[in-house]
Amino acid sequence: MSALEHLNPRKVWKYFEEINNIPRGSGNEKEVSDYIVAFAKERGLWVYQDKFWNVLIKKPATQGYENSPAVILQGHIDMVCEKLKDSNHDFTKDPIKMYVDGDFVKAEGTTLGADNGIAVAMCLALLDNSAVMHPALEILFTSDEETGMIGAINFDYSLLEGKRLINLDTEEEGHLLTCCAGGLRAKIALPIARKAAEEGKYAFKVMISGLKGGHSGADIHLGRANANKLMGRLLEKLMTECDCDIAEINGGAMDNAITRDAEAVVLVNDMEAFTSCLEEMQNVFRNEYEKTDGNITISAEGADKVEAVFDTATSARSIAILNKITYGIVAMSQNIKGLVQTSSNIGVVSTEENEITFTSAVRSAVDAEKWELVEVFKALAEENGAEFSYKGVYPAWEYREVSPLRDSMVKTFERMFWSKMHIDAIHAGLECGLFSGKMPDVDMVSIGPDMADVHTPDERVGITSVNRTYNYLIAVLKNLK
């Protein structure tokens, strides 16, 4: 029996389970894209699929709505692939193993993919529900959102006729998002010069783990620790007090996730000083992040024989970049109380044969501040003999003063739930920023059910919240006549 079989709305959870049986990490979306195309063809719906694996499905208006403007519903098909250290889950072939915990659906040791799979499931359920009254629907499923919004950047928007768009990539029920930050991916690539490993030194893999992690946009204001930043401080301590050599540094899998784990291979000869440094820094980190990451753990295990290590200059430059690279909040909004305006997250550090790369997600609601940060990264790279590059630039989504769609959805919410809907902005990037640039005359908003700890193995989605959000969406479409 399916773990989700008894949940309502049944079709939403049925389709969520079906897409979670298909590997759909960013860049690996062909199979789930083909699944959606087959779904549309089986129901005789108009469907289009492009080479980026975006899918567009069109469903005619129901009786009485033929003259109503079309509505675009949108979600992305890819998911962030994060897992616990001891998990043997293979995101390229294994289904997501889900279970129910109270009012939440969770995954066993991995990200759940509710971001944004629950949107895909709700859209498929709507398309498969003949009782829903609605204007003409254009359902857009985009690809590769999590690694740079590649699908949305490359979609052919001339295929869309709708002038009202509802994005379903929000993580807090009862909140209507009307603007978001823009951003880009910044990378520093440091060439590696090596020297022969010194005889008599012991090789260890040093690991920093036990961090909370989180979404690098939506959770950046929570002040959580970043394992890559902690590793920079730890390595500096080891270099200073333990005559340490560094062979490699790695941390994180996604630049849009606050890094939970990092590791380095090091060589030391003074075991007592080495152990003392690890214990001391673990206590320092736990004390600093007592309220957000109280379980930070520094551990070490023997490593395979190391033939070569970073030379002195490469080691010093690697540590300098880690310690100086911007992480966390850069500026708060002066217009919206409590909203982060600009931030950066050093999400991935990776050692290759000839270089070590440092990849960050940069976000800002102010275009000028985004490019100011680019200059900061560029200067850091230059002073350490490294190369700097950026990609995946996406614009901010600016607030729309006049929005009939927003007004209608607020009224519908208040009639259904007898409470005020929150009109919000978000620091995370949404595809609405790209949509607003491509379709400036389209009125758009973003909603979604309650989710928590997305982009981490603790990700969960509220069961009753999904039910309410789906029924709210049905009521919204009925009222958009």
Which string of DSSP letters, residue by residue, matches 14-51?
A: HHHHHHHTS--BTT--HHHHHHHHHHHHHTT-EEEE-T
Q: Give the gyration radius of the chain's Cα atoms.
A: 24
CA dist 314 to 35, 169, 382, Å? Answer: 47, 41, 14
Q: What is the mean pLDDT of residues 351-357?
A: 96
Q: Is the per-residue pLDDT at 148 higher than 90?
A: no
194-247 per-position pLDDT tens digit:
999 999 899 999 999 999 999 999 899 999 999 999 999 999 999 999 999 999
Rounded Cα–Cα distance for residues 295 and 289 (Å): 9
Instruction: Give the DSSP H/E element, type plus range, for residue 283.
Output: helix 271-288
Which residues belong to the active site?
78, 145
pLDDT at position 1 is: 62
**242-270 average pLDDT score:** 95
* Domains of the chain with bracketed CATH: 10-181+396-479 (3.40.630.10), 184-394 (3.30.70.360)
Residues 330/373, Cβ–Cβ less than 8 Å: yes
Burial label, 73 (beta-carbon count in 10 A; 0-12, 13-18, 19+) = buried
Q: Which two tokens stand for residue 55?
A: 């899918």
Q: What is the pLDDT of residues 382-419, one digit of tens each?
A: 999 999 999 989 889 988 889 999 999 999 999 999 99
Is residue 280 very low, low, confident or very high in pLDDT (cuts 50, 70, 90)? very high
Q: Give 92's pLDDT tier (boundaries 50, 70, 90).
A: very high
Please tell me the distance from the alpha carbon of residue 377 to that of residue 270, in angstroms, as a whole number. Answer: 36
pLDDT at residue 2, rounded to an integer: 86
Residue 398 pLDDT: 87
Nearest by Cα to 207 from 273, 285, 151? 285
d(CA 129, CA 151): 27
- Over range 12-17, report the average pLDDT: 98
Q: What is the pLDDT of residue 318?
A: 98
**CA–CA separation, 435 vs 397, rounded Å?**
8
Q: How confident is the model at residue 29 (pLDDT cuts 50, 70, 90)?
A: very high
For 143-164, what is the mean pLDDT? 95
**β-bridge partners, 328:** 344
What's the pLDDT at 262?
98
Mean pLDDT on 311-323: 98
DSSP one-letter string for 390-407? EEEEE--B---S--HHHH
Strand partners, 258: 214
337 pLDDT tier (thresholds 50, 70, 90)? confident
Please state, rounded to an integer, the average pLDDT across all residues of the chain. Answer: 96
User: Is 467 in a helix, a strand, or coil?
Assistant: helix
pLDDT of residue 345: 97
| pLDDT for 136 | 98
Helices (H), 289-353: 312-324
362 CB neighbour count, 10 Å cutoff: 28
